[in-house]
Amino acid sequence: MDKLAKAGRSVFGICICVFGLQYFFYRGYAGGLPPMPPWAAGGITGAYFIGAILVVTGLAIAAGYRVPVFGTVLGAIFFACVVAFHFQKLSLVIHDGNARTRASEVVALGAIAWAIAGIAAARKRPEQTGGWKIVQEVGRWLLAITLIIFGVQHFMYAAFVATLIPAWIPGHLFFTYLTGAGMVATGISIATKVYARLAGILLGSMFLFWVVFLHAPRVMAQIHNGDEWTSAFIALAMSAGAFVVAATSRRGGGIVGPRDEQH
């Protein structure tokens, strides 16, 4: 399971790097590209600045270099962007499903970054986990909350979500509701630490399935559509984060410690 955690951490870091590079490519804030909303101020200078931060932090996390520090910084930046920029149009975020999803995705990615930071710190120095434990726990709770939000939105916008499912999969509405229920259940499981490992594995597998069978074909069909690339890497980052949670959770709940891994 330790290899799964490292692989998940590395893939997550690579996805963050891709987001950073997209800011340089688009020379601005584009669609749902995290962590900045399209209406944020800053222009090309702001885009290059946030892009550089994402590339540096993403590379560090992917390479396993000072993960607690860079993971904490990355998560803090994502949360700050939600409060300072997404919440500039709070009414839109509350009432518009698209804006709410984009803000929630930023929170979810920031939560994963904090969870990864706390887990890495606990494994490196298990005797000094006070502050890092708080970071990890906040990340876990925020990830759980966003998963519940995503799940509820599958019920709120079921007709639209059903159109995103590939035509060769039958029962679009059924799988839309099933996915929504699964996200809510997974969020509750991660929050309560009950069957968190199983929930993380199932969640990671589901997101990975989407990457391969939903997002990849859409990217190939619209190779120049930046939103499709962003959506694919957000799903991949969520999958990676879920596998990290799974790999570092006990079967009954909680986080696996260094002693546990010896058994």
User: Domain locations in the chain?
Assistant: 2-262
Q: Which helix (H) or strand (E) holds 179?
A: helix 172-192
Q: Report which residue type is found at 252.
A: G
**pLDDT tens-digit profile of 198-227?**
999 999 999 999 999 999 999 999 999 999
Q: State yes or no: pLDDT of 128 exceeds 80.
A: no
DSSP classification of residue 215: I
Q: Are 130 and 167 in contact (CB under 8 A)?
A: no
Burial class (CB within 10 angstroms; exposed 0-12, middle 13-18, buried 19+) of 48: middle
**pLDDT tens-digit profile of 78-126?**
999 999 999 999 999 999 999 999 999 999 999 999 999 998 888 776 6
DSSP classification of residue 36: S
Between CA 145 and CA 72 the distance in angstroms is 19
Q: State yes or no: pLDDT of 262 exceeds 60.
A: no
